[in-house]
Structure 1
Amino acid sequence: MTQDTITRAERELYLTLLAWSEQRPSVNEWLARLPHWLAHIKDKANYAHAPAYQASVARLPKLAVNRVDLSSDTLTVDTSLNQSQHKQTTALLKQLMPWRKGPFQIGDDETGITIDTEWRSDWKWQRVAPHLSRLDGRRVLDVGGGSGYHGWRMAGAGADTVIIIDPSCLFYHQFMAIRHFVGAADAHETGRYRTHYIPVPLEALPEHSQLFDTVFSMGVLYHRASPFEHLQQLRGQLVKGGELVLETLVVEGDANTVLVPHDRYAQMNNVYFLPSVAALTGWLKKVGFSDVRCVDVAVTSTEEQRQTDWMTYHSLTDFLDPNDPTKTVEGYPAPMRATLVAKRA
């Protein structure tokens, strides 16, 4: 049964952490919590749709894969789909909608299925990737990784191990659907998978683990009511001298400028703090980061975030003032995102 996709992925995660624990006893706390983390996300009492999501992954057809490309802008699994497989796979993947981060392609250019996600996440990766320390051989944590697109790209860039965390039941099963087709294409020479997913928020992880050479937090900070706590938690997961890659919404202004939306921001009710780049730089230094640099600032366009056949709900166009797209419908500055890179001192 294809349900083994999830079972094997979780087993690979366990074995990876077990191997780490031989050098880092602190990983034993992760291992102790892991059974609860994995059981919680599949429990219907916690997530009503969990059984349906699991069934969708379980029913995905087993295909002969020619090649998997984790380095292309569209994460591609090159395989041949007959008409029946194409129909079945499309229907099952659409049961896991909405797809927000991607894109992905299952199949070849002629008969393949392209999951055209709400976000052109490849655009963000193109902006971020040139400014990273080389990922070769590094342990990487991707916080709030969604369906896992960026995590796969990190593996494609040579990371030794990538652990994606995100508490979404849907995103966890989207990752497992892609894992089903990727199979062992990301494996080490030992046969161990390199890309893993733990369905928890950052605050669920043991504090001060100091396990990772690089930690990504992209599109998370503005959802945190306590931004300093989030930054401290990120720092606690890094080895000394490790690299943080932080991408978040920002506003224009000086070191004292921070926007706190009164109600909603771009129709999101869980946006708390939008600092200027200068203010955010100060925050990072205050919690113990050094060598802080802003490597990119970009206004989000309606070409980068938009409604598609795979995400049919409202998107950025609906969140902007129809008469002035430089503002949100609430009158705030339109979404602008900055990427900062820093070292754990």
Structure 2
Amino acid sequence: MKHFATDLIAVAQSPLQHWLTTLPAQLEQWQRHQQHGELDKWLRCVAQLPHLPPEQVSLGDTVTVTSTDVSAGEQNRIRGLLMQLSPWRKGPFHLHEVTIDTEWRSDFKWQRLLPHISDLTGRQVLDIGCGSGYHLWRMLEAGADQVWGIDPGQLFMAQFFAIRHFMPAELAKRVHWFPLGVDDLPELKAFDTVFSMGVLYHRRSPIDFLTQLKAQLKPGGELVLETIVVEGDEQTVLVPGETYAKMRNVWFIPSSKALLHWLHRCGFKQARVVDESLTELSEQRATEWMTGQSLVDFLDPQDPTRTIEGYPAPRRAVILATV
């Protein structure tokens, strides 16, 4: 629980106070039973990061923290420790002259959706499936009062802690991360904006998932849903075989029109597509910080409009809706 003490205090001081009826017990259970075998090693890496004054901070396309008085030895130490937290999927970050060139250029996605979403100024914002938290910092940059991220991935948790370690206290105290999945959330009905990016197609029951997202929003709140889609009418849904683009946990990929229909059936209002585009190789690729296979390996080398299995290549849509 020590990792989340300040975050629980922030919950108690926020409009989310009723979350405390379930959250502390869930975190206690997680600490007892669900820790990854490598988690202690990852957290030791975070604990060994040097404490440096964050003289310049930018929460822009590359989330950046720098100081003018960092030795070459400290830079090497930072790089070596952060490399032990690989693979880094979402970013990029630049920390005291160490650039983490992540697999995904997550700033591309943010640029696609930011012009369309409601103003985040003063809002309580939840990001479901937030990964290492890159977008949490962008949400803070966009004016959110408090940003809350959940994700069951414990390497992501260590990566988030590493980034927050370098942030000035006045920013760090407004961004929070819990090792939870959407199934762990009660019906909070307290967030002004809920983001779900890159999660829907991993859920066995997409309708239940959309209902869970709705249950987190206060009346008038906005859902920002980003996911893989296929072309087609409102009845078009791809149910892939064992893998889609070499991912094993992909269950349903609807067309944008079908997804709008689902949202309407779930009680959302004003659902609309604000962006739809094919994923380019420049947005998802292998780097020294993620040396495994990436998008180029998931596509048919003879026809990049198809996945290696013969399905349509990843097309991503951003859909907004309100409750």
Cα pair distance change 1:183/1:25, threshold 3 Å: closer
Deviations 1:240-259 (CA, angstroms, capped at 9, x unpaired): 11000000000000011000
The number of aligned residues is 322
Partner residue in 1 for 2:109? 124
The Cα of 1:19 is off from its aligned counterpart by 1.6
The Cα of 1:18 is off from its aligned counterpart by 1.1
1:57 aligns with 2:57: no
1:76 aligns with 2:64: yes
Unaligned runs of 5+ in 2: none
Cα contact 2:16–2:188 (8 A) shared by 1: no
1:147 aligns with 2:114: no
The Cα of 1:327 is off from its aligned counterpart by 0.4
Cα pair distance change 1:34/1:113, threshold 3 Å: same
Superposition pairs of residues 130-279 of structure 1, within 5 angstroms: 130-186=115-171, 193-206=173-186, 208-279=187-258
Counterpart CA distance in 2 for 1:121 and 1:76 is 14
Counterpart CA distance in 2 for 1:152 and 1:243 is 19
Partner residue in 2 for 1:328? 307
Counterpart CA distance in 2 for 1:54 and 1:178 is 12
Counterpart CA distance in 1 for 2:83 and 2:29 is 26
Q: 1:310 aligns with which of 286, 289, 292?
A: 289
Name the SS of the counterpart of 2:195 in structure 1: strand
Cα contact 1:37–1:199 (8 A) shared by 2: no
Deviations 1:34-89 (CA, angstroms, capped at 9, x unpaired): 5426625xx6x73110110010000001112202111x100000223211101111
Cα contact 1:325–1:334 (8 A) shared by 2: yes
Name the SS of the counterpart of 1:65 in structure 2: coil
2:75 corresponds to which letter in structure 1?
Answer: H
1:17 aligns with 2:35: no
Q: 1:106 aligns with which of 76, 95, 100?
A: 95
Deviations 1:129-148 (CA, angstroms, capped at 9, x unpaired): 11110000000000000000
Counterpart CA distance in 2 for 1:89 and 1:136 is 33
The Cα of 1:185 is off from its aligned counterpart by 4.1
Cα contact 2:11–2:17 (8 A) shared by 1: no
Partner residue in 2 for 1:28? 20
Cα pair distance change 1:331/1:180, threshold 3 Å: same
Cα pair distance change 1:58/1:225, threshold 3 Å: same
Deviations 1:253-279 (CA, angstroms, capped at 9, x unpaired): 001100000110000010011100100
Name the SS of the counterpart of 2:223 in structure 1: strand
Counterpart CA distance in 1 for 2:17 and 2:140 is 25
The Cα of 1:17 is off from its aligned counterpart by 1.1
Partner residue in 2 for 1:190? none
Identical aligned pairs, as a percentage?
50
The Cα of 1:183 is off from its aligned counterpart by 3.4
State TM-score, norm by structure 1.
0.90
Counterpart CA distance in 1 for 2:222 and 2:289 is 34
Q: 2:36 aligns with which of 47, 59, 63?
A: 47
Cα pair distance change 1:29/1:287, threshold 3 Å: same
Unaligned runs of 5+ in 1: 1-5, 188-192
Cα contact 1:143–1:217 (8 A) shared by 2: yes
Cα contact 1:68–1:185 (8 A) shared by 2: no
Cα pair distance change 1:24/1:116, threshold 3 Å: closer
Counterpart CA distance in 2 for 1:335 and 1:291 is 25
Cα contact 2:106–2:134 (8 A) shared by 1: yes
